[in-house]
């Protein structure tokens, strides 16, 4: 079994799909590797590509605020994305790109063994939970798969465009907090 640092090394040289051609950095993911709680977004944007870190732009700032509202910081969670390289022009990742990249995420999950995975946005929910998920309707519930509780919520970039949806997101974050507390008390 790889260590996370070894997997990061391998991933940093990845050319399994065409996204490697336009990238500045692979955005592998970061955070606490002993955590129970993992957040998975869609793919790096331009700030993330430039800095090689997930969620460092405006959406990332909002994510930090939402975490703070439930008394969490990034140092307590692990954050990564479905695809590790920026799709050009911030388009959605293509199915073939997702398929090529997923083994890295599967390894990350296998190594970190989170008890809760929060999927951020529609693509992440569809890939991780169920292709038929409609994020605005099906968010904010627990979907149990094996030993992991998946909680789909809205993407922070969506919340920046639709501030009135922040109240829904707050409900989801309260559920995340409650579920984490239950797990920690076991």
**Does position 28 bind ligand URA by CB under 6 A?**
no
52: left (phi over 0), alpha (psi -120 to 50) or beta: left
**Does position 41 bind ligand URA by CB under 6 A?**
yes
**Does position 54 bind ligand URA by CB under 6 A?**
yes
**Does position 59 bind ligand URA by CB under 6 A?**
yes
**Does position 55 bind ligand URA by CB under 6 A?**
yes
In contact, 26 and 12? CB cutoff 8 Å: yes
Select the residue interacting with ligand URA from 30, 36, 48, 49 (CB under 6 A): 48
Alpha carbons 129 and 146: distance in angstroms, whole number:
12
Integer CA distances (angstroms), 137 to 88, 151, 169, in order: 29, 13, 12
Stretch that binds ligand URA, among 48-56, 94-102, 128-136, 177-185 (CB under 6 A): 48-56
Residue number with the shortest CB distance to ligand URA? Answer: 41
In contact, 88 and 22? CB cutoff 8 Å: yes
Identify which of 154, 116, 125 has the alpha carbon closest to the alpha carbon of residue 37: 116
By beta-carbon proximity to ligand URA, the closer residue of 63 and 185 is 63
Q: Which residues bind ligand URA (CB under 6 A)?
A: 41-45, 48, 54-55, 59, 81, 157
């Amino acid at each position: 079994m790889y260590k996370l640092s070894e997997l990061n090394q391998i991933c940093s040289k990845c050319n399994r799909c065409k996204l490697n051609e336009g990238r500045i950095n692979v955005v592998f993911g970061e955070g606490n590797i002993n955590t129970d709680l993992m957040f998975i977004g869609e793919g790096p944007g331009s700030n993330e590509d430039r800095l090689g870190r997930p969620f460092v732009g405006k959406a990332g700032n909002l994510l930090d605020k939402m975490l703070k509202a439930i008394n969490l910081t990034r140092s307590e969670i692990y954050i990564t994305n479905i695809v590790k390289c920026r799709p050009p022009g911030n388009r959605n990742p293509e199915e073939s790109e997702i398929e090529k990249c997923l083994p890295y995420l599967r390894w990350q999950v296998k190594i970190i063994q989170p008890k809760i995975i929060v999927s951020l946005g529609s693509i992440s929910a569809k890939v991780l939970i169920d292709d038929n998920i409609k994020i605005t309707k099906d968010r904010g519930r627990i979907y149990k798969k094996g030993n992991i509780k998946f909680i789909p919520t809205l993407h922070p970039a969506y919340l920046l465009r639709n501030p009135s949806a922040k109240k829904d997101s707050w409900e989801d974050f309260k559920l995340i907090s409650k579920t984490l507390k239950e797990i920690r008390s076991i």
